[in-house]
Structure 1
Amino acid sequence: MTNLRQARLDDHWRTAFKRKYPLFLQNMEFTEGEVFGETKLTLKPGMNAIVGKNGIGKSNFIRAIYNSLKSDSSNRQKFSKLLDKSKIKFDLIISGENCSLELSPFEKNEIEQDILCLLFDPCTLIPEIQKLFVQQENLNELLESFSPNQLSVDELKLANFITNTEYSSIEVINIEDEYESFPMLPFFSVERGEVRYDSRDMGLGELSLLYYFWIVDYIGKSKSNSLLIIEEPESFLPPLIQNRLCDVLAMTLATKGIACLISTHSEHILRKIPRSHVHIMSRVLNRIRFFNAASNIEQMDVLGLTAPKKGLLFYEDEAALFFARSLIKASPLFVSDSFLYHCSGSEGDVLQDLKRFPVSLDEFSFIAVFDGDCRGKMDDQLMDFENYIFLPSALSPEEHLISYLGGIDIVDVANHIGKPIELMSAAIDVAAGSDHHDYFVDIAKVLSIPYEELFSKLCDLWVGDENNSESVQEFIGKLETLAA
């Protein structure tokens, strides 16, 4: 029986970004085209999202991928009109085996591997198929030549959840090989209360959601290595339903192991997708380029797609803030702007804020971030709380980084900061013996860069050091548990 409780759906979201997938579309590279030629995109396992301005070419990019990977079992025919005639090289991992495919969107490609590619693009798809049904003169005779499928209780439960409706019954007739553009096309008849109607009479949003239910069910029952491509699923849908659509998508990925590539303009669609899985499509010097949203937050802001806030982190001072933000950037689920930040002022003030703030509100957590030197000092005061976390080490952030710098090559430090080795060495000599609160301020003055920039870069250097990966993962794991 399908469990649609929010807590279970949240579990599916976590699983979707941690599990292994039988099909992993790693890289794609477009060649020869005037628009997409030399365009490269590197993906993450599972779900990936593409964002970008209107008119940048997302639809044609998506359709070129679909055309290339389409098989006889796909849900619609190839698109005949695309912006250019690029060819695409795909690097994939299928059931643990690496393979490369060089395909053309306009040719019939012979793909030996068992790949099922489906496309859900409601903005163009749904009006087109409704028009087909409305204009079909002998539709009733046509429907009688196919066997109807009555949804089971469990299937009806899922369809009602997706559509936010209470249907008493749904009947689906899969029309095969009748329409040139659609090898298989579902026709829906529904009953709600005492009213019965079908695909011809539905609003576009309702028909879109039922088709989405059908395509998720279809791909979930397939034994093939599956890729679901979705273009602007938010079309015709209010925010609540967009959230439900995404919850069902995460459940499908987590339980069925399908891969998904989705393009969207909606914050609600992106709400639970880690920024490391979001790719910004841009035009640079008349060429299409992709940038990862995790490291290009400003471009997301320009598009009006800010990261959903997962909670408030409250901490002692600036050093703790910079250290925490660097650690968060290493998370696959969050980016640094996934949180709001509040400087409490001291460890005692952090404790007072922990006592006065609630543990959480609706999908928003309050988390105390203590310096590492608070470990073991506050056990009695923290006994009644769980929503707190310690920064790595048993020292304050400044003392911890001073110790770290003493054990690594100054060449690596200078290269990371972007300053000459001689200047970096002189700056460290000037700061020698300073109080740890002043140490990095003194170095920053010699280097002629802001303290904030220096300390943030040094935190990034520590986080990126593979010798510290265990401590980094411990912090991230605790944060994800508290803020998920």
Structure 2
Amino acid sequence: MRFAKALDVWRGLYRKQFQSKILGLEFSNVLGLGSGRLSFSGGITIICGANGVGKTTLLNALLLSIKNISEPLPYSIKNRFGGSSLVVSVSENGNANSYTKHGIVNGAEISSEINYIESANKSSRLIDFFSSLSDKQEILETFGSVEYDAEELNLLSYVTGKNYESCNVYEIDDFGENEVSGFEDVIPYFQVLENGVSYGIEMMGLGELAAHLLIWSIRRAANNSILFLEEPESFISPKAQIHLMNYVANASLKKGIWSIITTHSMGIVSNVPLSHIKIVSKSAAGISIIENPNHFQLNMILGISFSYTGILFVEDLASKIFAKIILAHFDGDLARRFDIVIAGSVSAISSILYSMPKTSNNWLKIIGLYDGDQRDAGASVIDRRRIDWYYDFLPTSSAPEIILRNYFRRNYSILASRLAVREQDLELGLNQFEASNHHDWSRDLSDFLAISEEHMLNNMFRVWIEDTENEPDALACFTGIQRNFTS
């Protein structure tokens, strides 16, 4: 699928109205999970987390809550859900309902078709089964095969790293007493032709077969069905995972399939909006679920480090801390994109903006962030004709230290608590250094209180920005930085 078409598919997927939807799940007393809740919206929802945090158990909870599971139940289901309570909210054809299930006793079941795909484990079962089958050819001849079209063949070739000339699938629905765990009604057999050589499941690697199983299962899924997909990245390269997810998104869009997928791979989540990703982490008490993560949280879970893509040059320590607090207050992700560097003076910031060459492809943004008291200085601060970069100002028309000095004349009680100092000491210090040069004021006050200047300023700016009266000034500064960063 071409890049532009893929973007259209993903945009369309989250605008689509689905007939069958799982809206939410509440669970309690699930072994390994504890108690909690999570909600779902949009065509594809990702449950993301490290190995062993409970992603598969959550999928099993969803499956158990809406589908009657055939006996004999796996030990893991009996063990984890024997004393549990599950409440699932669903919508079918515009009708919303809630179903409660206690333990593993079968109860109400939704009418929509449900598919649970765990291709990694199923692959090994299929290989073992067909490798031991003595009358395989006779069975295959009984059932006709379906040949994949060119688009599906290209996708299979890309995902598996093969160069298929053809792929046929036999859908076998009558094995008598023979069966394969995980396949309820139909068992697939894949036969491919690559570089003039024909071979079937027995000669496939696990990764190759897993890709075939995924695409076959999604291909067969009914319109308006519900799909649970467990770690589809198994054995598949990161780049191929993106193409596979484009296929899943396209199928979900065309067929109205409501999909919930577990993963710990960036390739799987790369096109899914953050609002449709749930991060699962584990503690001694059970699991915690972050419903609307930011990029930093997601990257941390996936083991991907953030890299700086912007530099803010500021005058001094107070300006640096002020800028950091403003960015973190409004957008923690953006705050981690910037390295905030102390230039030392107004003229030093301007000199950097004059001399710093433009980067190729605009991958790095340089912004000079002057103190607010330079806002009205005009051309004496910066000659815009000499630079290719951006500049802006910290809030108000005063230097950061003056903002703080004026604010805490009347708000020192809350600051004393935050700094863990006595109110009378803080009040005395504020009075004592009222007339100090503002560049020296924070250092003198922190020395008097016997705390670090950086710690004091951090808490001062946090208290200041938490006051709703100051938020408009802080937001205006943030908006300017954000606009310059994204321009």
Q: TM-score, normalised by structure 1?
A: 0.70
Q: Could you say which residue in structure 1 is the equivalent of 2:108?
A: 110
Amino acid in structure 2 at the alignment position of 1:327: F
Q: Secondary structure at the match of 1:63?
A: helix
- Cα separation, 2, equivalents of 1:9 and 1:424: 63
- Cα separation, 2, equivalents of 1:252 and 1:425: 64
Q: Secondary structure at the match of 2:279?
A: strand
Q: Could you say which residue in structure 2 is the equivalent of 1:321?
A: 324
Q: Secondary structure at the match of 2:339?
A: strand
RMSD (Å) for aligned C-alpha atoms: 5.3
C-alpha spacing 1:141/1:289, structure 2 compared with 1 (3 Å): same
Q: Could you say which residue in structure 2 is the equivalent of 1:264?
A: 263
**Structure 1 vs Structure 2: percent identity of aligned residues?**
19
- Cα separation, 2, equivalents of 1:120 and 1:397: 60
Q: Could you say which residue in structure 2 is the equivalent of 1:280?
A: 280
CA drift at 1:17: 9.4
Q: Secondary structure at the match of 1:168?
A: strand
Q: Which residues of 2 match residues 346-385 of structure 1 at below 5 A?
A: 347-348=349-350, 351=353, 355-360=357-362, 365-371=363-369, 380=385
Q: Could you say which residue in structure 1 is the equivalent of 2:76?
A: 81
- Cα separation, 2, equivalents of 1:429 and 1:124: 67
- Cα separation, 2, equivalents of 1:258 and 1:442: 64
Pick one of 459, 468, 471 that aligns with 1:454. 459
Q: Is the 8 A contact 2:101 2:107 kept in 1?
A: yes
Structure 1, unmatched stretches of 5+, are none
Q: Could you say which residue in structure 2 is the equivalent of 1:162?
A: 159
- Cα separation, 1, equivalents of 2:439 and 2:21: 47
- Cα separation, 2, equivalents of 1:244 and 1:195: 26
Q: Could you say which residue in structure 2 is the equivalent of 1:204?
A: 206
- Cα separation, 2, equivalents of 1:162 and 1:453: 50
Q: Is the 8 A contact 2:442 2:457 kept in 1?
A: no
CA drift at 1:60: 3.1
Q: Could you say which residue in structure 1 is the equivalent of 2:317?
A: none
Q: Could you say which residue in structure 2 is the equivalent of 1:191?
A: 193
Which structure has the greater CA radius of gyration? 2
C-alpha spacing 1:438/1:417, structure 2 compared with 1 (3 Å): farther
- Cα separation, 2, equivalents of 1:251 and 1:119: 18
Report how many aligned residue pairs link the two structures: 454
Q: Deviations over 1:288-338 (max 9, x none)?
A: 44356947968975x6x3345365111123233332343333xxxx5754x
Q: Could you say which residue in structure 2 is the equivalent of 1:240?
A: 239
- Cα separation, 2, equivalents of 1:168 and 1:290: 45
CA drift at 1:194: 1.1
Q: Could you say which residue in structure 2 is the equivalent of 1:223?
A: 224
Amino acid in structure 1 at the alignment position of 2:217: I
Q: Deviations over 1:196-232 (max 9, x none)?
A: 222222111111112222233344x6233x343323x
Q: Secondary structure at the match of 1:355?
A: coil
C-alpha spacing 1:37/1:151, structure 2 compared with 1 (3 Å): same
CA drift at 1:133: 2.5
CA drift at 1:32: 4.0
Q: Which residues of 2 match residues 331-342 of structure 1 at below 5 A?
A: 334=333, 337=336, 339=337, 341=339
- Cα separation, 1, equivalents of 2:127 and 2:27: 34
Structure 2, unmatched stretches of 5+, are 315-319
* Stretch moving more, 188-197 or 460-469: 460-469
CA drift at 1:279: 1.3
C-alpha spacing 1:35/1:197, structure 2 compared with 1 (3 Å): same
Q: Deviations over 1:243-293 (max 9, x none)?
A: 4434544555677665443333445545666666241321324x3443569
Q: Is the 8 A contact 1:440 1:454 kept in 2?
A: no
Q: Deviations over 1:86-137 (max 9, x none)?
A: 231124566776543323573444334x544332323312111222222333
Q: Secondary structure at the match of 1:237?
A: coil
- Cα separation, 2, equivalents of 1:440 and 1:35: 50
Q: Is the 8 A contact 2:224 2:257 kept in 1?
A: no
Pick one of 68, 79, 87 that aligns with 2:65. 68
C-alpha spacing 1:171/1:296, structure 2 compared with 1 (3 Å): closer
C-alpha spacing 1:460/1:70, structure 2 compared with 1 (3 Å): farther
